[in-house]
Each structure stands twice: as structure tokens, then as C-alpha cells.
Amino acid sequence: MASNYLEELNDVQRQAVVNIDGPVLVVAGPGSGKTRVLTYRIAHIIESGVAPWEILALTFTNKAAREMKGRIAKVVGDRAERVWAGTFHSIFARILRVEADKIGYPSSFTIYDTEDTNSVIGAIIREMNLDKNAYNTSAIRSRISAAKSALITPKLYADNEELRQQDRQAARPYTYEIYEKYVARCKRSGAMDFDDLLYRLYELFQRNPDGILDKYRGKFRYVLVDEFQDTNQLQYAIIRKLVNFDGSPRNVCVVGDDAQSIYAFRGATIQNILDFEEDFKPFGIKTFKLEQNYRSTEHIVQTANEVIMNNRRQIQKKIWSDKGEGHKVKVIKAMTDNEEGKRVTDTILEHKNRFHLSNRDIAILYRTNSQSRIFEEHLRRYNIGYRVFGGLSFYQRKEVKDLIAYLRLVVNQRDEEALRRVLNYPKRGVGDSTIEKLSAQAGSAGKTMWECLAALDAGAKAKKAIADFVQMIHSAALRVPTDNAYEIAVSVARGSGLIDLLKSDTTIEGMGRLENLNALLDGIKSFVEEDTISVLDAEGNSDRSLTAYLQNIALLTDQDENSAEGGDFVTLMSVHAAKGLEFKSVFVVGLEEKLFPSFMASDSPEGLDEERRLFYVAVTRAEQLLTLSYANSRYRFGQMRFNEPSRFLEEVPRQHAESTAHFRGSQSTAERNAPEQASGAKITGNFVRRGTAVSGMPAVDAANFKASPSDSIQKGMRVLHLKFGEGEVLEVEGNKDNRIATIFFKAAEDDPKKRIMLKFAKLQIVS
């Protein structure tokens, strides 16, 4: 295969593969062979004489990295294993294991997950006697995460008046102090959270002790980044540090699609890919656009094209397919969410029978995980096998986290969160107040909790139990350099008393917890014995140690755990989780205003653009059949809500849909407003103003529109609505927040009489 791999590529793909020197941007539309281009490019670099360990390939999932290495191996053989390929977090953790001591961390540092981070922040909030309702741990965690991603240290945060003012307005004026204490607590514990794996690497490169930055610049002659549209500011900053030598960029290739940038809530910024071409233009950047879609039929591809053209700023491209027209897009209109569930399930049965599809060929995609319930109920009634992705992770189950905490403590005795979790589990007579006293004592003495454990003031029985606990951890820690992860884990599971404790619970739930613990041990056994290399050490050798295992599971991504391989079941998952997947038949459900697009994005142009990109991702998961559905009413937060169809349905072009009866707007994008040029090379955008006339409706001037208080709207009034124009209020029912108005909008010819919940309606009283 090594001799003919270039023959498998189309002309543009081949150019993107063989132009290996200098900065390169590959704009890869959905289903355009992105992974093939990236892997063959790496193979071509190796075939050109470059050592594989001089290549750094950064991905967003471990699954993508494994697939990449597998494909490269088909061209270059075993040399593929020496490529530094992995997620940002796993590669950076690998570097930090070697260099962490230079920034004051142990090489065996713990990686905190979200629950650990929340626990540390919660403890700090309690110690500061702050209102836990105002200082919500998740909100504080997000604030700290955003600060790190923007390279804002605790000191810079404390000195930034704008940030401090935002916190005061949010009734959280001490956020800066929590941030400062959180960073200090993590360092004392020898722990890094996910953001730290980026933030601390940047710190290491910025401080450049012993020429560390030059060492890795010299090591990686070629840098490649997959899914570049999903990078955040900090990731881009690290990439630029790695590839810039005295202001002259070396060989960097980024691959991505601005139209699939959907992770702003995680800190990703579309600006990176939009600006990359301009940033590297002085250094002779080459840009290649992969526009042929090999996945979907023409109706699906053109629907996606037309919808995404409504976004304001984007890299101009036109995706096309030669797989034939295929089936038009089907739209299901339901009166209730329950009816939507039934009609979607009926259509699934039709697709299975008419097109001979298996369950595994079908996916139901929704905006929020809570939407799965209705579809689960109907699939069960029809005896259709299904699997829901996005629930509780295996590694988040209590019994699993308990044993993992013991193992973390074996590797790193400074890990205070692990110590807090297991010190009194199974019970050793050490209550919460004693643990808090121990934490305070450690803080005042400038020591770790583990160091203060021997002097803990406790009763004789508790002291004996603690001494046995300490001895067990010490004994296991001594085995870490020599024994494999499985041997240590079995010893700790037994010695800690966890297995005996779970065996004593003979309920069905208790037996299930014991099975989970055994499944974890089985997983560790597989890690130790299987041929698949999960973690590499600094020299590129397979690492089967307990430290390596803990790093491996700590860095699992959502998609790694949500692999839909094996078994014949309909897939139910959020659109975010579906990124990178494909199915013969896709149902995108719940297409209603305030749901998809989300109500949180409705008032923000940037937010709406991202929601539209999310819809674009959903549409382009479909290979042959695409079904869109919405319900006029559904229960949300315990209340019946009446819904308008999503604006994205308006943007689906009429000629590519089976029925246009449900579309308020039906003109193609080309027939809408002419495109407006935005700044930036090859960046264009279409601006569809929501207040313009649609389907004969009178225009409402959005600039002068001012919603009236909802409680002032009464029967007989004339009102204005931004989309439906002028209407007459025929009836108002309900009390207080549940008032629902029936309004007749003459210009809404398809359905002039509408029931609208007033507190969400945004109506202006005319008379």
C-alpha cells in the first residue's frame, strides 16, 4: 500500500497531502475525507525521510488518535507507533510528566476531574463562610476555567477591574480569592485539573527553564492539528509557541471546518480557524478546501449548505456530492412531544422495513439529553433496541471512583481530594469535622493533609484504623515502580476493605456495585495485558504502570466512552455527542424556538450562529435519510409550553424538502438578502434579519420594537410580533406566569391563530 496511497486521493486531497513544508490550512467540509488526508499527510512526511518521533499530531479524542495511527501503519508499518499522536491533554500530560518538577509539581501529579474540582471549590467556599447559593461551585469552576483559557492568572484576575465588576454584579465579589486559593490548593495536592494540563504547559514554555521550549521546538519538526475549529485561545497560544522560531513559523498544518465549531461552552473559539490564514499569510501559507462530500446525498448536502450560509462570518466554501439526489428531507409536525415520539418511532419502523435498515443505522439526535425520555418510551413499546449516550459515565459511579481514589492516593499521597474521599470509607471513625480539622491544620502548617495524618487527634480505635490505612497505602506505593497496575489494584481493593464491604450488601443494587468494581479491575487487567498501546513514556515505550493507567482513564473524552460500536441498537444522543459520527438515517428532533436554537442563545448573534452550526452538524450526520421534527407543545420544567417551529426550519430550502406546508419562509438563501462582506481573507457572511418580511408578512422594524410587559396584555388588544407582524388578542387564559394568549395574525397564512405563552412572547401593544 505504501506505493499507491496517493492514488486514493482526489486532486485537492493529494495537494493537501504532498505540500508538507510551511504553514498549511486544510478547510475540510463534512464527509470530505479529512481523516484520510491527515493520516496520509503524516505517512507522506515519514516516507519523505522524516523520523516519526519528530511529528506531533494533536487530536480531540483518543479514538481519533488510535484510528490515525492505524491508518498510518498501513502505509509505513510499525514506524507509525513512534509518532507523537494523541489528544491535547494526553500529549501535554506526557510532556508534563517529564518536566513538571521545573514548575513545582511532582511527576506523579494527579489529574482532577470535574467532580474533584467542584469538591475543592466547595470546600474553599465553606471555609470562607460564603453563601453557597450565590457561590455556585459549577459557576465558579467555569469562571476559573475561562480565566485559565484566557491566560489570566489569579493575580491578573484580582487586578482586573472589569472582571471584578462582573463578579460584583453577579453577587460573587470574592471569586478572585477563591481562584487564588483553588490554585494554591491544587499545587499543595500535587494535582492539575484539565485546564492545568494546558495552562501549566504554557507556563512551562513561557518561563522556559533550562531551554525547555527550545527542546520541544527542536523535537517536533512537524506539527499537525485536527479539528482546529474546536481549539481555545490557550491551545492556539501553545501551538504558536511550538512552531515559531524567531518569528518564522515552521511546518504546521491545521485541519478543520469553521461550520462545525460547536464547543464555545467549553471555551473553544471559532476565531482561531477564521484568523489562521491571516495570521500565517506573511509566511506563505497554503490553503486547501475539501468540498466534495463522500457521505451524504445531494438533498442533504444542499440543505446543509443553504442553512449554514445564513451565518454571519465564515470561510466561503460550497460542499457538493456525487452520490445522487437521494431522498428529500422529511419534516414531521406534531401537536405534542408525546406525538412527536410516536411519529418518529413510526418513521423508524418505516425506514427499517422499506429500506432494510438495521437499528445501528439509525440515530435520534436532540439538543438536550433530557429529551431522550419520550423516544425511549416509544421505542420500548415497539420493542426496538436502543442505547442512550450521555448518561452517567462508568468512571463516575461511586464505587468505581472510590477504588480509583485509593489508587490515586497510592501514586500521589499529596492528593487531598482522594484522601478526603477514602479516609473514612470504609468507616474508620474519622468524621467530616475531623477531616476539616485536618485540612485546616495542614493549611496553617504549610504541609499536606497526609503529612499531618500521623498527628491527627482521634480516639484509640480510630488511630489504629488510620495507622493500618497509612501502612496499606505506603506498602502499595513502594510497589508502583516494579509491579503492574492490575496487581496493585487487586491488592488495594482487598486491603482497603472495599470488596468485603460491597459483598456484604446482598441487594440487587449492591450486587450491581460489586459487578462494577470487578469490571474496573477487568479493565485494568486489559490495560496491562492487551497489545493496544494506550500510554507511552517519554522515550515512546509502552507504559503499563499504575500512574499510566490513572492518566489514561482521567483523559478519556466523551466520545471515547460514547463509542457506538457493537450491538444492534438505535442511537440516542445529543448533537454535540454525535460530532464525527454518521448514520444512514438521522432524526433531528425538538426543532423549536427556545429549544433548538437554545433559549440561552436566542438573544446573541454569536450564540445563534453557533446553534446554526450545531444544526449543520446534525444534518450532515445523515448519509441517506434525514428527518426533522418538532412539537407545537411540550412539557418543560413541569409546565406545558407552546412552541414556534425553529427558525432553522425556515432556512431549509423548499426544493430539498418533501413537504413545505410547515415552512413559514421558503425562499432559498440565494433569494434572500445579498451577502455582506466581512473583514478577513476569504471570509463572507449572509445576514438574514429576523424582522424582514417572510411569506407575505408585514415587516416589523426590529430597531424600534419594544416588548410590552406580558402582564399588561389583555383580550381585544392589538399587538406586534417580530415575526408574525400585527395581530389581535382573541383570548387570554391562565394566571400569573402561566398566562397563554390566543392571537390571530392575519399575515400568517399557514396558521394564523396561534397560542403563545405570554411570559416568553415578546409582544408590543399597539392599541
Q: Which of 111, 113, 77 is nearest to 94 (CA)?
A: 111
CA dihedral 621, 626, 632, 637 (to 10 degrees): -20
CA distance 97 to 99: 6
Considering the candidates 99, 193, 196, 227, report the single residue annotated as catalytic: 227
Exactly one of 235, 260, 292, 624 is catalytic; which is it? 260
Q: Using CB atoms within 10 A of its CB, is residue 253 exposed (0-12), middle (13-18) or buried (19+)?
A: buried
User: What's 328's DSSP letter?
Assistant: P
CA distances in angstroms from 623 to 290, 294, 361, 616, listed in the order given: 18, 9, 10, 14
Determine whether 463 is an active site residue: no
The amino acid sitting at 640 is M
Q: Is 564 helix (H, G, I), strand (E, B) or coil?
A: coil
- 733 noted as active-site residue: no
Nearest to 394 by CA among 552, 533, 562, 579: 562
User: The C-alpha cell of 118 is what?
Assistant: 467542584
CB 399 within 8 A of CB 517: yes
Q: How many helices (H) and strands (E) does the chain have?
A: 29, 25
Cα 511 to Cα 502: distance, rounded to the nearest angstrom: 7
The amino acid occupying position 656 is H
CA dist 442 and 423 (Å) reads 15
| Matching residue, cell 450545531 | 614
Distance set, CA 652 to CA 186, 331, 659, 734 (Å): 49, 10, 11, 35
CA distance 655 to 306: 11
Q: Choosing from 34, 352, 613, 723, which is the catalytic residue?
A: 34
**Marked catalytic residue, from 35, 368, 692, 764:** 35
> For this structure, is 34 an active site residue?
yes
Backbone angle region of 394, left / alpha / beta, with phi > 0 → left and psi within -120 to 50 → alpha: alpha
Which cell numbers in the block locate residue 682?
476569504
Q: Which contiguous run of DSSP H or E holds residue 745?
A: strand 740-745
DSSP state letters, 616-678: HHHHTTEEEEEEEEEEEEEEETTEEEE-PBPHHHHTS-GGGBS--TT-S----GGGSSPPEE-
Which three cell numbers mark 407?
489508587
What 3-state class would DSSP assign to 760? helix
What Cα–Cα distance (Å) separates residue 150 from each residue in 146, 192, 226, 235, 331? 6, 17, 21, 10, 42
Q: Rounded to 10 degrees, what is the CA torsion of 469, 473, 474, 480?
A: 170
Catalytic member of 81, 116, 167, 226: 226
Give the position of cell 501502612.
471
CA–CA dist 730, 722 (Å, integer) = 19
Is 260 one of the annotated active-site residues of the chain?
A: yes
Give the position of cell 476569504: 682
> What whole-number distance in Å separates Cα of residue 348 and Cα of residue 483?
52
Q: Catalytic residue at 582?
A: no
> Which residues are within 8 A (CB) of 318 and not within 5 positions of it... i.e. 6 or more apart?
291, 305
The residue behind cell 497505602 is: 473
Kindly name the residue from 82, 97, 317, 621 that is annotated as catalytic.
621
Task: Confirm if 51 and 86 have CB atoms less than 8 A apart.
Answer: no
Judged on CB neighbours under 10 Å (0-12, 13-18, 19+), 211 is exposed
Question: Catalytic amino acids?
Answer: 34-35, 226-227, 260, 621
